[in-house]
Amino acid sequence: MATTAGRLFFSCLFLGLALLIRRRGAAGAAPFGIPGAKGKTTLRLALLGLLLAFHWWSFFEAIRLSSVALGLLAFSTFPLFTALIDPLVSRKPLSAFDIAKAALSMAGVGIVAPAFDLGDPQFQGLAWGMASGLSYAVLSIGNRGMVARLGSLKLAFSEQAFALAFLLPFALGLELRLTLAELSLLALLGLVFTGLSHSLFIDSLKVVRPQAASLASALEPVYGILFSALLLGQSPRAREVAGGLLIIAAIALPGKVPLGSLKKEKKE
């Protein structure tokens, strides 16, 4: 909780400064105002912020309870959640390949998963990782409808400000004693790997579908697990490698055959 709130604090500082600098090049533009903001827009931003707070908190909880490898592999299912949920929102036909990929991905999760035991921290970590992936998929789809109107910087700042507001009361109740090195790492996490990366990801949604953006993010488990092995000495187990390969293969497979077209072919 404290880590998530800390990264959001530094990220909001970065994004707020970026909005103020950009305002100097646009006379009269309100840096933090929402164009035509009404109750509905504000409520939607607040819900997206709550979803973002849950996504980051559940991701760190997954890693805390299990390992970097298991947490990342569980989270990496989010492109499949995106592929299954997005057609319901955009009202486009569900791809037959997307259903097959989801089944393949779940098979990978089954291999990675420890014994079904709600009291097992490894199983809890897997569950929280998948919850983080599901929330991220919904967040990506929700952002697509807002980024064209607000812009990536303003949308990222608004979401993260709401997320920080939700988490701050919990974080303030914790006793924290951070060293200068820990504070520096938290600032790096917030400035570069939260503020900059989140706004760039949102900006990409202007030109690519959420599924395509999700595919690019699917590489995160690969380099994340590699760095965890090099820096933390947490090497993935054989079943995590096997299950991870299935999950990544499922994400990488194309999905261009709508179910409706298959039915037409059968009739013909």
pLDDT tens-digit readout, 4-41: 888 888 888 888 888 888 776 554 445 555 555 567 88
Polymer length in residues for the chain? 268
CB 163 within 8 A of CB 136: no
Q: In angstroms, what CA-CA distances link 176 with 138, 179, 183, 193?
A: 32, 10, 11, 22
pLDDT of residue 223 exceeding 60, the answer is: yes
Query: Per-residue pLDDT tens for 174-185?
Result: 666 778 888 888
**Cα gap 132→125, rounded to integer Å:** 10
Of the chain, the percentage scoring pLDDT greater than 70 comes to 81
pLDDT the model gives residue 8: 87
pLDDT the model gives residue 236: 79
pLDDT the model gives residue 180: 83
- The residue-averaged pLDDT of 148-169 equals 86
For residue 21, how far is the Cα from the chain centroid? 27
Q: In angstroms, what CA-CA distances link 192 with 115, 154, 159, 180, 202?
A: 37, 17, 17, 18, 15
Residue with tokens 């009361």, as numbered in its chain: 169
* Residues 6 or more apart whose Cβ sits within 8 Å of residue 96: 255, 257, 258, 259, 262
Q: pLDDT category, 49, cuts 50, 70, 90?
A: very high
Q: pLDDT category, 237, cuts 50, 70, 90?
A: confident
Q: Which of helix, strand or coil describes residue 82?
A: helix
